[in-house]
Amino acid sequence: MVCRVCKRELDSPICSFCGEDNSAYINAPQNKTGSSSVAKPDTRKKSDFKKGIKPDKKKVKIDFKKLVRLVAAIVVVVLAVIIVKNFLFAPKKETPTASKQLFSSGMLGVYSGGEWGFVTSSDLSDFAIVPQFRTVTSFCNGIAFAYIDGKYAMINEYGQLLTEPQYDSVGAFSDNGFIPVKKDDKWGYIDTDASFVVEPKFSTAAAFAGKDMAAVSVNGSYGYIGKDGEYKIAPQFDMAMDFSSDGYAAIKSDGKWGYIDADGTTVIEPQFDEAHIFDSGYAVVKKNGDYGVIDTEGNFVVEPQFDDYFEYNKDGLSVVRVGDKYGLIDNNGEYAVNPRYRDLGTFGDTKLAYACTSDGKYGFIDKNGSFVIEPKYESAGNFSMGIAPVKKDGLWGYIDSEGKEVIKFDYTYASQFYSEGYAVAGDALGAVMLIDINGNNMLGADLNVDEIMYKTVR
């Protein structure tokens, strides 16, 4: 055996001449010629490759343990990315809400001991204004009106008089801050400082609405004024309604209703028995005894065929009445659910509406008219904040969208929930409560409220 470096004879694996360690060389398997099979350096020239001489292939040894660990790591990373993506970008489940308000400017009129006062949404434990007035209006922009000794006075949120009692009547508050008031048998407008911005000179006066104009009348004829009190459209109509955001107002002339624009130009000839305000390009009208829907050019998008006024939903379903039965139509006037219910509510945040069968039982249907909650209640109201009031055995309680009881049947009446998170309910003794979503009475125990100023909303 010779040294693989200096080619001298070896007497041990370590060459005594050059010091090379030939252990691996000596122990390597021998080929048929007796030479070692240890790979030698590739001394071929680049030209050899061009001639088609291929280099020896080396065998690759795979570490399966490392491979398994690598694959596992990749799987973990991919799963983590998916989870994070779903968490950050997946649609969030919305919490059911209510759209209708109970309080106005944070104040709510309450009737106790024969007089009206107020509580606030921030503190229901006691009266913010002790009941002391015969009649009150709702608050708006921090002011309201109270009836004292036969006249109305302006009050603030503490119940203090901002004016002497001097107004015969008060109209609806305008968005521009003007308030129609009647004084000495004429209507005019004051601002929130109680200063007259339009002197009293009209027979009637409505609130300022679209186009910043208000409908007024003098001697039975209606027209429209601007903020300066001057006529924008001279009195000439039998009746007049507010301008809508669409820029049209319904007017009555010679016994029929039509529509004008802000210049007073007739845009839809008077031809209807009734005409209601435009909303997003559509208005409900009555013609030849039936109700339908027109667009801003006066064309019917829903032919007159219904027996009662209805709120048209251009983006969904509308509740309509034919005879004594209620059904649902789409925005083209086609029946989504044929009229077959004695009573029918609107679809709330749970996509369910109450419906009354021919035998007088209430349940809840989906938009196909199928009962999701079987009709077994004596009455019912709309869903709001995910629950709905229902009446059973003479008392009201609340159920969820699966028909499960969530607030006990303890009330003589119960409203839907409002956006502040409260509903109005009455107890067995006739007292009025404001309950939360858990059925707790949030009014102070000593308030003894007999009535609350709110619009009944089923």
Q: Give tens-digit pLDDT for 66-92.
A: 655 666 666 555 555 454 444 444 434
Rg (CA), the chain: 41
pLDDT of 106-127, one tens digit each?
999 999 999 999 999 999 999 9
Query: How confident is residue 429, by pLDDT bands cut at 50, 70 and 90?
Result: confident
Section 212-223 average pLDDT: 97
> How close are the terminal C-alpha atoms of the chain, in Å?
107
CA distance to 96, 184, 222, 235, per residue, from 200 (Å): 46, 8, 16, 16
Alpha-carbon distance of 212 to 228, in angstroms, equals 11
At 146 the pLDDT is 98
- Give pTM, 2 decimals: 0.75
Alpha-carbon distance of 427 to 419, in angstroms, equals 22
Burial of 207 (0-12, 13-18, 19+ CB in 10 A): middle
Query: How confident is residue 55, by pLDDT bands cut at 50, 70 and 90?
Result: very low
Alpha-carbon distance of 13 to 27, in angstroms, equals 10
Average pLDDT, the chain: 86
pLDDT of 437-446, one tens digit each?
999 999 999 9
At 50 the pLDDT is 41
Section 329-352 average pLDDT: 91
Section 224-233 average pLDDT: 97
CA distance to 250, 258, 299, 306, 420, per residue, from 274 (Å): 9, 9, 15, 13, 35
CA distance to 145, 162, 164, per residue, from 134 (Å): 11, 17, 16
Section 32-43 average pLDDT: 44
At 40 the pLDDT is 44
At 437 the pLDDT is 96
At 38 the pLDDT is 42
At 456 the pLDDT is 43
pLDDT of 255-292, one tens digit each?
999 999 999 999 999 999 999 999 999 999 999 999 99
CB 320 within 8 A of CB 326: yes
Section 414-426 average pLDDT: 95
At 83 the pLDDT is 47
Residue 146 β-bridge partners: 136, 153
At 35 the pLDDT is 44
pLDDT of 152-198, one tens digit each?
999 999 999 999 999 999 999 998 999 999 999 999 999 999 999 99
Say whether pLDDT at 15 is over 90.
Answer: no
At 100 the pLDDT is 85
Alpha-carbon distance of 98 to 418, in angstroms, equals 5
